[in-house]
Amino acid sequence: MKYFTEEQSIVRQIWGKADTTLFIFAGAAAEFAVNKAVDWLYFTGKLPADPLGRLFSTVVYARQIIFSEMEDANRAIEKITAIHQGVEKARGAQIPDWAYRDVLFMLIDYSIRSFEILYRKLSDAEKLEIFDVFYRVGAGMKIKDLPQNYADWQLIREAQMDADMINSDFTIDLYEQYRKHLGPVRYLILKQVQVLLVPKQVNQLLSLGNTPYLLPWLLAYKASRAVKLDEALIFSVLPDEYREQVKNLSAGE
């Protein structure tokens, strides 16, 4: 039985943990808001109506691919491609190739950043493995002009963040929706996770600041693993409607 990722893959370790997956979600929430192509996410109306659910679906699709057998993973990739093609047909325009690459790049970047913040530094070989998995996702979606190796990805990622990010009316509206759907306390926690996590270009556009007030909580969270309280801490800051879904994120561990 052949899986899209090897059973001992570092990618499975990262995406099989609820905490790292939620950090990836937090990073994506920030970067989607400042991406110049965010208007595509507004086109169907699903993003402003349910921003957490819409972004969460991106995470769920990625996990589905990572933990599936090869044939099932390829079908999931085809389904994602078909969904995007349907949106393009409805709008009468094409999603730019760079926008597809941007989403793929953020999944690579936040996979690395999240695991290193919450657990340990990754080796060069592990980073290459993360790149390879998402490269194969992009190739399956027939995304053009993908970097061929991790070193090239690093250079293009820097250039992409400088070229494709902007603080727009969509940015302001999306963060207002985050606040509305999360409530003031959870919204503050989201932004503090983003302070720890996002690249400097994203931080500057969102004016998140450079003071990581969440560090003491993060240290307490890491200590709580020893007594198996880490999951309880995660659930304590989640909206009720997402707790069961997040519990399922650890199914791949």
- Three-state secondary-structure class, residue 35: strand
Above pLDDT 90, what percent of the chain? Answer: 62
Phi-psi region of 233 (alpha: psi -120 to 50; beta: other; left: phi over 0): alpha
pTM for the whole thing?
Answer: 0.90
Q: Given this model, what pLDDT does residue 221 score?
A: 86
Do the Cβ atoms of 155 and 93 come closer than 8 Å?
no
Flag whether pLDDT at 253 surpasses 50. no
Backbone angles phi, psi at 3, to 5 degrees: -100, 160
Q: Which residues contact 126 (CB under 8 A, 6 or more apart)?
A: 10
Angle CA 78–106–201, to nearest 5: 150
Closest CA to 96 of 28, 31, 160, 168: 160
- Give the C-alpha separation, 131 to 137, whole Å: 10
Residue-wise pLDDT for 95-152, tens only, equals 999 999 999 999 999 999 999 999 999 999 999 999 999 999 999 999 999 999 999 9
Tell whether the torsion through CA atoms of 237, 59, 145 and 151 is positive or negative: positive
Q: What is the CA radius of gyration of the chain?
A: 17
